[in-house]
Homo-oligomer: A and B are copies of this chain.
Amino acid sequence: MEIKVHDRILEANIRIAERNRELFKRKGITVLNLIGGPGAGKTALLEASIPLLLRRFKVGVIEGDIYTSRDSERILALGVPVVQINTKGACHLDGNMVESVLSDLPLDELDIILIENVGNLVCPAEFDVGEDAKIVVMSVADGDDKPQKYPLIFRLAKALVITKSDMLELAGIDLDRLKDDALSVNPKLEIFLTSARKREGLGGWVDFVTGMTTGRT
């Protein structure tokens, strides 16, 4: 029974997500759904990337969090429109939650919406919210065994952003193994190694977002 209910919830979610997707398409907005565990560095990646994207695009942010609005306060400091979704305990964003806050964003002005999902590498992967692409985010400190252990998100994502490259040496992970494992789960995955703190490796990632937005990717 649990599984049937779960399937019905997922089906209802897909309908709402498709409605979001049509709206985003009509408004010409590219939407990326950033998914990663707690502490993967999703907010720091946004903080480092948004100023680069703003040179060319209008960017809005949807921040998903279970209770606090700490992340959206960090994003507000960048001077971009941001709306907070507090899931009140729920482990992922869904299409309905995203739909419910869209009227709080200036959709007619935006080129890109970056969605930061709840810190969770598992559940958010199952819930389409109407995005153009899922982006999986993990840090070098998370270890090199994540693609095989959490394959769904690596399979569904269009890009993997590996964060905190400034900790690479100390983390002692096998970066080639991580990349090979990720590509064995998803051969088309684009992989970027970044450090938000050192502002390194962001160019390729920003080019990827730019390509998604201008329709080149």
Question: Is A214 part of the binding interface, using a Cβ–Cβ cutoff of 8 Å?
Answer: no
Oligomer copy total = 2
B37-A149 in contact (CB<8A):
no
- Chain A interface, number of residues (Cβ within 8 angstroms): 38
B167-A121 in contact (CB<8A):
no
Contact with B along A40-68 (1 / 0, CB 8 A): 00000000000000000000000001111
Interface segment among A23-31, A75-83, A101-109, A140-148: the answer is A140-148
Question: Is A201 part of the binding interface, using a Cβ–Cβ cutoff of 8 Å?
Answer: no
Chain B residues whose C-beta falls within 8 Å of the C-beta of A119 in the assembled complex: 37, 121-122, 149-150
What is the bound-complex CA distance between A5 and B4, given in angstroms?
A: 11
Which residues A83-123 have CB closer than 8 A to chain B? 89, 91, 118-123
Question: Is A199 part of the binding interface, using a Cβ–Cβ cutoff of 8 Å?
Answer: no
Question: Is A166 part of the binding interface, using a Cβ–Cβ cutoff of 8 Å?
Answer: yes
B37-A70 in contact (CB<8A):
no
B141-A139 in contact (CB<8A):
yes
Chain B residues whose C-beta falls within 8 Å of the C-beta of A212 in the assembled complex: none
B138-A38 in contact (CB<8A):
yes
Which residues A1-21 have CB closer than 8 A to chain B? 2, 5, 9
What is the bound-complex CA distance between A5 and B9, given in angstroms?
A: 11
Chain B residues whose C-beta falls within 8 Å of the C-beta of A149 in the assembled complex: 38, 65-68, 70, 119
Instruction: List 26 A–B pairs whose Cβ atoms lie within 8 Å, in order of A's numbering.
Output: A37-B37, A37-B120, A38-B146, A39-B139, A39-B141, A65-B149, A66-B122, A67-B149, A68-B145, A68-B148, A68-B149, A70-B145, A91-B91, A91-B120, A91-B123, A118-B122, A119-B122, A120-B121, A139-B141, A141-B141, A141-B164, A141-B171, A166-B170, A167-B170, A167-B171, A172-B197
